[in-house]
Amino acid sequence: MAGTLTLVDLAGSVALLLWGVHMVQTGIQRAYGPALRRVLAHAGAWRLPAFGAGLAVTAVLQSSTATGLMVSAFAADGLIELIPALAAMLGANVGTTLIVQLLSFDVSSMAMLLVLLGVVMFRSGSATRARDLGRVFIGLGLMLLALHLMTDIIVPYEDQPSLRMLLGALATDPGMDVLAAAVLTWAAHSSVAVVLLVMSFAAKGVIPPDAAFAMVLGANLGTSINPVLEGASGSPAAKRVPFGNLAGRLLFCLIVLAALAPLGRVLVRLEPDPGRAVADFHTGFNLALAVILMPLLGPWSALLTRWLPAGAPSSDPGEPVYLPTALRASPPVALAAAAREALRMADALEAMLAGTRAALLSDDRAVISGTRRLDDILDRLNRAIKGFLIGMDTDALAPADHRRVAQILAFTTNLEQAGDVVEENLMSHAAKRQRLGLGFSEAGCADMLRMIDRLAANLRTAAGVFMSEDLRAARLLAAEKAVFREMEREATAAHLARLREGRLETAATSALHLDVISDLKRINDHLVRGAAYPVLENAGELLATRLRTEEPEAAESDKST
């Protein structure tokens, strides 16, 4: 029973360590995520600046996986060339070792102070950034506390015969050490947590130095596996950076593993403290990898390009292009990718409007069926975007990220509903016109074409407002509701005039014309609701209702007084 409770305590301590790492990462992402993304995006075309940018961003973010996802997305989009992208990953590998170096010193006494400071900042901070930094301090405190608890749990059992047998097996099979640590790091999604765990055990003599160094190799290998697996459904160009990082680490791990015994003896002589020796080995491994690979990035990138050619883009327009699962770990990149996918929905809707124009004027039934099929593209992309956003880690989202998620969902939902209006209503009107052999008058055709053209322009404006969140453009788009109301009013008046004149040859088409105008106005309403209203609401310029809040009698009484 005591052994079971000890295992539960140890597992809880490991979970506390992982949660502390998670809090540090999410706090930094919330506080500085967009700024860090800009640093990487402007790393330039040179290796050393890109290396420095990757190191700096990861040193702050403490997640080489998140940095790798951003770099991979930028490289796939052509914002960063492959060579500087690989250099940035080498810098990220070095940057993730810095917190291990910091925590390798005896700073466990600061755990409660960091938690206290973090709670005070989180509870009393009026600014969002202060609350986010409070999360970071709480996470650091939890990490120190977890390391202290783990060592206290393990030390009483280090002389147990069964544990000694296990340690003996570890010391004689470094290959198994590498494999075990790689699997653990892959499952935990954090090389920092695994290296700190190994460092803590080594500091108390629970793990022999050679086994600890081999497990550090496994942690470095395991942390590069997730980006490759999670980005497996992406384009070949998006796989080059994570695959290049994995292949480089794997080759270097094999080289170091072959020379691990003499390297370990030298390092133990230079650094007698086992915990510090583990931290130094972790840093030295990544520094050596960077020094060796930096001059070879040219041929290395050429080899990766040959292995993973760009290939032809997918011929299925309903297949999402910018939504690999791996991007969800980095909210700034994930939201930008979802927004880009939403623009593909806008392109599909614009094609549907062009199909509507042709279907209302021609007798080609293929135009109607082709336009209706475009609605399937809208539906599929809308489902993909929603599923992608729902799968994001809500703890990693800052308030601004939650607002952007709501904007993306509003935009895509309204585009999908606008497509339904085209598919269910406008195409039905076009099919009825063809079936009955009706033709619109010259004036009626001019009215519809003018309205469709204006609607297409508003769709492009809506896409611009959605991406830029420009308040002036949002006001202009919202004003189009009044324009379309006036168009509908004029169409209704013309319809009644034709009926009064008894022009039976145009009365049937005038009713159909009125239905088309009403549906085009509905589509414009969706564009305004999906793009302009979220921006206006965030700026405090959107009224809750258009109705007068005063009763008529009260208003008259106020006027008389």
DSSP string, 341-355: HHHHHHHHHHHHHHH
Residues 376 and 489 in one domain: yes
Whole-number Cα distances in Å, 297 to 39, 271, 488 = 21, 32, 63
CA 288 to chain CA mean position, Å: 31
Residue 195 lies in a domain: yes
Inform me whether the pLDDT recorded for 368 exceeds 60: yes
Residue 251 lies in a domain: yes
Residues 532 and 397 in one domain: yes
CA angle 117, 36, 396 (to 5 degrees): 60
Residues 492 and 357 in one domain: yes
pTM for the full model?
0.67
- Give Cβ neighbours of residue 551 (< 8 Å, ≥ 6 apart): none
The residue behind tokens 């920092």 is: 192
> Which of 51-55, 289-293, 432-436 comes out lowest in average pLDDT?
432-436
Residue 555 lies in a domain: no
Most distant pair of Cα atoms in the chain: their distance: 106
* Domain of 480, in residue numbers: 327-538
Cα separation, 509 vs 447, in Å, equals 13
Cα separation, 145 vs 103, in Å, equals 11
Q: What's 354's domain CATH number?
A: 1.20.58.220
Residue 404 lies in a domain: yes
The residue behind tokens 């699962």 is: 325
500-516 CB burial, b ≥16 within 10 A, e <16: eeeeeebeebbebbbeb
Residues 34 and 176 in one domain: yes
Residues 370 and 477 in one domain: yes
Identify whether the C-beta of residue 35 lies closer than 8 Å to the C-beta of residue 59: no
pLDDT in tens, 460-490: 999 999 999 999 999 999 999 999 999 888 8
Residues 413 and 514 in one domain: yes
Per-residue pLDDT band at 138 (split at 50, 70, 90): very high
Residues 226 and 361 in one domain: no
Whole-number Cα distances in Å, 271 to 167, 187, 264, 274 = 22, 31, 10, 7
Under DSSP, the state recorded for 396 is: G
CA angle 233, 237, 240 (to 5 degrees): 90
Domain-terminating residue out of 248, 272, 307:
307
Residues 271 and 374 in one domain: no
Residue 31 lies in a domain: yes
Residues 495 and 372 in one domain: yes
Identify whether the C-beta of residue 398 lies closer than 8 Å to the C-beta of residue 30: yes
Per-residue pLDDT band at 561 (split at 50, 70, 90): very low
CA angle 366, 368, 370 (to 5 degrees): 65
Q: Residue 68 is encoded by which pair of tokens?
A: 């790798």
Share of the chain above pLDDT 70, in %: 85
Share of the chain above pLDDT 90, in %: 38
Mean confidence (pLDDT) of the chain: 83
Q: Which amino acid, residue 532?
A: A
Under DSSP, the state recorded for 232 is: T
Residue that wins the pLDDT comparison between 98 and 148: 98
Inform me whether the pLDDT recorded for 1 exceeds 60: no
Rg of the chain taking only CA atoms, in angstroms: 31
* pLDDT the model gives residue 44: 60
Inform me whether the pLDDT recorded for 207 exceeds 50: yes
- Give Cβ neighbours of residue 421 (< 8 Å, ≥ 6 apart): 519, 522, 523, 526
pLDDT in tens, 489-519: 887 887 777 667 755 445 567 778 788 899 9
Inform me whether the pLDDT recorded for 161 exceeds 60: no
* pLDDT the model gives residue 41: 63
* pLDDT the model gives residue 559: 47
Residues 21 and 124 in one domain: yes
Domain total in the chain:
2
Question: How buried is residue 378: exposed, middle or buried, by Cβ count under 10 Å (0-12/13-18/19+)?
Answer: buried
Residue 550 lies in a domain: no
Inform me whether the pLDDT recorded for 157 exceeds 70: no
Q: Closest Cα to residue 224, out of 63, 15, 333?
A: 63
Q: Closest Cα to residue 147, out of 117, 192, 187, 87?
A: 192
Residues 273 and 385 in one domain: no
Cα separation, 86 vs 551, in Å, equals 68
Residues 96 and 240 in one domain: yes
Residue 546 lies in a domain: no
Residue that wins the pLDDT comparison between 465 and 102: 465
Residue 560 lies in a domain: no
